[in-house]
Amino acid sequence: MSDTTQDGQVLTTQDGRPLKAALGRALFREKLRAFLLVAPLLIFILITFVAPIIDMLHRSVENSIVEETLPKTVVALQEWDSGSGDVPDEVVFAALYDDMVIAVDEKTHTRLGSRLNYEQSGISSLFRKTGRRIKRMDEGEPLKDQFLAADKKWGDVTTWQVLKQFSPSYTGGYFLNAFDAKLGPEGVELKPADERIYLFLFGRTLFLSTVITLSCLLLGYPIAFLLAALPLRTSNLLMILVLLPFWTSLLVRTSAWKVLLQQQGVINDFLVWINLISDSGRLVMINNQTGTIIAMTHILLPFMILPLYSVMKTISPTYVRAAKSLGANDWTAFWRVYFPQSVPGIGAGAVLVFILSIGYYITPELVGGTSGIFISNRIAYHISSSLNWGLAAALGTLLLVAVLVLFVVYDKIVGIDNVKLG
Amino acid sequence: MKLKTVILAGTALAFAGSAALAKDLTLVSWGGAYQSSQKNAYTDPYTAANPDVNVIWDESSAEAVAKLRAMNEAGNVTWDLVDVVASDAIRLCDEGLAMEINPDTDLAAAPDGTPASEDFGDLLVSECFIPQIVYSTTFGYRSDIDAWGGKEPTEICDIFDLETFPGKRSLEKRPINNMEWALLCDGVPKEDVYTVLETEEGQDQAFKKLDSIKDNVVWWSAGAETPQLLADKEVVIGSTYNGRLFALIEEQKQPVKMLWDAQVFDLDGWIIPAGLPEDRLAEVKKLVMYATDTQRLADQAKYISYGPARKSSAPLVGKHASLGIDMAPHMPTDPNNAKNTFLYNYEWWADYRDDIDAKFQAWLAQ
């Protein structure tokens, strides 16, 4: 488009200003107003959503504690060959002594000990013990011997290898850990079989979330179909029944499942009473995967029904009627005409339920026993008990990446514009 | 999800804290019967004597370590006194999140003049830790199980005896205590448990022993679960804190008995968060001086069956405040109950917790 007429004259508004500038100004004002309207939400999201995620990503690789606590030692260690099999020489120990004196003064040595203990058991007490002895050490005497006398772990090459490996301010160590791997002498290798847990848990989280999503779909689809087909008055009443559990506390609902499903619980009592099972053969339905699947399907069911319902509500009954009048039987009319139109609702419900369940942690913790817990339970453990926030952040990042990848795959297969909430 | 909760909770607390008055003291504890015993024995008499002090309770002890770290990173610590178990106190002290104390100047001496450092003795397991009570993790069993043919478990290894004592057991979903009990019942002498557990073979040995009952175990993560499971007959034997079992047996009158054998002593006490401003610290220190004196610690035993951490408090333990029964025989430290006890090695677990926990979780998931 051009802002000049054919004879080169600039188009102006009535009061003589160039049209382009006037339009631009009006549009800018419009844009500014729109921006100001969304600004509160934008700022809110930046602070409460984007910033924590960036912080989490940063934490999963950040490792400046070694360099900050033992600056001289880190420099001195650069000369040392960690593959040599020998403990570093006196120079490194002298640097360690200087660093430790300051660290003990500032009480940061035990903190470093806890950090490195995640990588090698025993370093925590090594630093605590050495911290207590440091004041009694004599700078004039050979320091290596004095450190070795304080704790023989200083004479262990692995202690030094760990120290050297984690001296850079950024580390991939947390991510390796999250993949059940570690840096061995020959590069990255898997941990011994009895310590591998995270990959397995990621797999189980994805598997159980899929099962939960499918069972929500199986249970939710007929209900949503019924709700959409019934007259408004009846469907509103039924809708309340769907929403009622939604309004009840999550913990109450989870505990209610405990009462129902446990071996001395209502369902087992009933089955024994009608002689379907014997008293000694009571079913184990809780503290395992079954418990997690049942309780979470129940909790997440409304998230499936609501998008399904709102999409089905918009499907005009005339299409099905037309199909039937053209000779389709009930099944064909449903499968060829109705179902394809409800797919956007399935997409929305499935994505919603899947993503919610992948990050669930309270319900699996309460009813999952050992075989029904998710990766988020381990993340929670590292946040609140072991204080290994770096590993928790790395696991959280992997979970985030997994969700994003699945989202892209979903977009490729189904198409993201095919998702509708109503 | 959890991280966000911590950050949000931290922010919320920060807002709550900035609005507080100078004489407000925020105490963090575990909630439930334990917190009310502290309220009854420590803070109610203290606020009665000091009407200008207002005590606010926060039931966050289970997440105290993580929350304190979040507060510390945010530079706004809103808690004044935090109740934690000893292992958490060591962790907080190591991380520089708890303040180091001097027992002899910060804590009251015993009535006979014995300095606090002697009165608390070995229980001062960390420079930051102010012990209050000794509790134990021990077993309770139902006394009405027909399948046991009139027999009752008398020793710790009966937990592993599925033939004589069939039925489900409940154990805590963490390696601490379980690994030790497994080794004890696999023939390892008490004094060697931790040296054995330090080796790969020792850990395998413990897991192998636990394997023998794995299919019959319900794993708990909250102390209230075992009493509930016992009351519902979901399990026949279960480990939990002795105070929870006392409530189940004496207050709720359930047919459950205590198996004190090889009970594991643990400690619970206060820490003062590091970096409190002078005026708040002075208030906290006054409260601590009062709340951990000989009489106050003895008073707490009127409300809950945990043993006072001071030697000088033991003779003062009286009757339960509402049930009227003698509390001394219900204390884990009572000679009859403490015939065979196991001492939990804090320092050792601080070193090996991360490693063994990973193995334990992998073992559980198999």
pLDDT on residue B9: 53
Q: Is residue B335 part of a domain?
A: no
In the block, tokens 């990766």 appear at A375
Would you tell me how many other CB atoms lie within 10 Å of the CB of residue A415?
12
Across chain A, which distance is largest between two alpha carbons, in Å? 103
Residues of B in contact with A386 (CB under 8 A): 353-354, 357
| Between B365 and B55, the higher pLDDT residue | B55
Would you tell me how many other CB atoms lie within 10 Å of the CB of residue A25?
11
Do the Cβ atoms of A194 and B363 come within 8 Å?
A: yes
Answer whether A392's CB lies under 8 Å from A382's CB. yes
Residues of A in contact with B365 (CB under 8 A): 197, 200-201, 204, 370-371, 373
Distance CA A386, CA B69 (A): 12
Q: Is residue B344 part of a domain?
A: yes
| Between A194 and B280, the higher pLDDT residue | B280
User: CB-based contact (8 Å) between A393 and chain B?
Assistant: yes
Residue among B34, B32, B41 nearest B292 (CA): B41
Residues of A in contact with B7 (CB under 8 A): 52
Residues of A in contact with B358 (CB under 8 A): 195, 197
pLDDT on residue B222: 85
A78-86: Cβ within 8 A, 24+ apart: A80/A160, A80/A164, A82/A157, A82/A160, A82/A161, A82/A164, A82/A165, A83/A185, A85/A157, A86/A157
Q: pLDDT category, B1, cuts 50, 70, 90? A: very low
User: CB-based contact (8 Å) between A48 and chain B?
Assistant: yes
pLDDT digits (tens, 9 = 90+) for B191-225: 999 999 999 999 999 999 999 999 999 999 888 89
Same domain, B235 and B354: yes
**Nearest chain B CA: its distance from A367 CA (Å):** 10
Same domain, B186 and B67: no
Same domain, B44 and B146: no
Would you tell me how many other CB atoms lie within 10 Å of the CB of residue B85?
20
Tokens of B279: 């005026």
Answer whether B179's CB lies under 8 Å from B206's CB. yes
Residues of B in contact with A65 (CB under 8 A): none
pLDDT digits (tens, 9 = 90+) for B78-100: 999 999 999 999 989 988 999 99
Listed by start position, the domains of chain A span 1-59, 65-171, 198-418
Tokens of A161: 């290898």
Residues A43, A46, A49, A51, CA torsion sign: negative
Identify the contact set of chain B against chain A, taking CB-CB distances under 8 A: 1-4, 6-8, 62-63, 65-66, 69, 91, 93-96, 168, 173, 204, 218-219, 221, 232-234, 347, 350-355, 357-359, 361-365
Answer whether B235's CB lies under 8 Å from B229's CB. yes
Look up the domain containing B6 and give its range.
Answer: 2-134+267-328
Quote the Cα angle for A169-A170-A172, to 5°. 145
Do the Cβ atoms of A48 and B8 come within 8 Å?
A: yes
Quote the Cα angle for A266-A269-A273, to 5°. 135
Is residue B344 scored above 80 in pLDDT? Answer: yes
What are the residues whose beta carbons fall under 8 Å from the beta carbon of A413, sequence distance 6 or more? none
Q: Is residue B350 part of a domain?
A: yes
pLDDT on residue A42: 95
Residues of A in contact with B94 (CB under 8 A): 110-111, 113-114, 124, 128
Same domain, B218 and B356: yes
**Nearest chain B CA: its distance from A201 CA (Å):** 8
Residues of A in contact with B93 (CB under 8 A): 110
pLDDT on residue A406: 85
**Nearest chain A CA: its distance from B65 CA (Å):** 7
Is residue B15 scored above 50 in pLDDT? Answer: no
Distance CA B82, CA B267 (A): 14
The DSSP symbol for A18 reads B
Domain total for chain B? 2
Do the Cβ atoms of B1 and A393 come within 8 Å?
A: no
Same domain, B259 and B275: no
Do the Cβ atoms of A365 and B221 come within 8 Å?
A: yes
Integer angstrom CA distances of residue B182 from B4, B52, B201, B240, B265: 38, 52, 13, 16, 17
Residues B92, B96, B98, B104, CA torsion sign: positive
Mutate to test the interface with B, among A158, A194, A201 (most CBs of B within 10 A): A194
Q: Which residue of B has its CA nearest to A117?
A: B351
Distance CA A300, CA A294 (A): 10
User: CB-based contact (8 Å) between A201 and chain B?
Assistant: yes
User: CB-based contact (8 Å) between A121 and chain B?
Assistant: yes
Distance CA A240, CA A244 (A): 6
Per-residue pLDDT for chain A (422 aa), expressed as one digit of tens each? 455 556 667 778 777 788 888 888 889 999 999 999 999 999 999 999 999 999 999 999 999 999 999 999 999 999 998 888 889 999 999 999 999 999 999 889 999 999 999 998 899 999 999 998 998 999 888 999 999 999 999 999 999 999 999 999 999 999 999 999 988 777 888 988 888 999 999 999 999 999 999 999 999 999 999 999 999 899 999 999 988 888 888 889 988 999 999 999 999 999 999 999 998 888 999 999 999 999 999 999 999 999 999 999 999 999 999 999 999 999 999 999 999 999 989 988 998 999 999 999 889 988 988 888 899 999 999 998 888 999 999 999 999 999 899 888 888 877 777 777 66
What are the residues whose beta carbons fall under 8 Å from the beta carbon of A113, sequence distance 6 or more? A123, A124, A125, A126, A127, A128, B94
Same domain, B123 and B192: no
pLDDT on residue B19: 43
Integer angstrom CA distances of residue A319 from A326, A327, B76: 11, 13, 63
Overall fold of domain A198-418:
MetI-like fold (1.10.3720)
Helix (H) / strand (E) containing A227:
helix A198-229
CATH number of the domain that residue B29 is part of = 3.40.190.10
Spell out the alpha helix ranges (H) of B188-293: 193-197, 200-211, 225-231, 242-246, 278-291
Q: DSSP E strands: which ranges in A103-214?
A: 181-184, 187-190
Residue among B253, B271, B173 nearest B214 (CA): B173
Q: Is residue B334 part of a domain?
A: no
pLDDT on residue B21: 47
Same domain, B222 and B360: yes
Same domain, B110 and B198: no
Distance CA B92, CA B98 (A): 5
Across chain B, which distance is largest between two alpha carbons, in Å? 64
pLDDT on residue B20: 45
Same domain, B67 and B150: no
Same domain, B298 and B246: no
A vs B, Cβ pairs < 8 A, gives 112
Q: Is residue B83 part of a domain?
A: yes
Same domain, B352 and B230: yes
Residue among B327, B324, B270, B329 nearest B301 (CA): B327
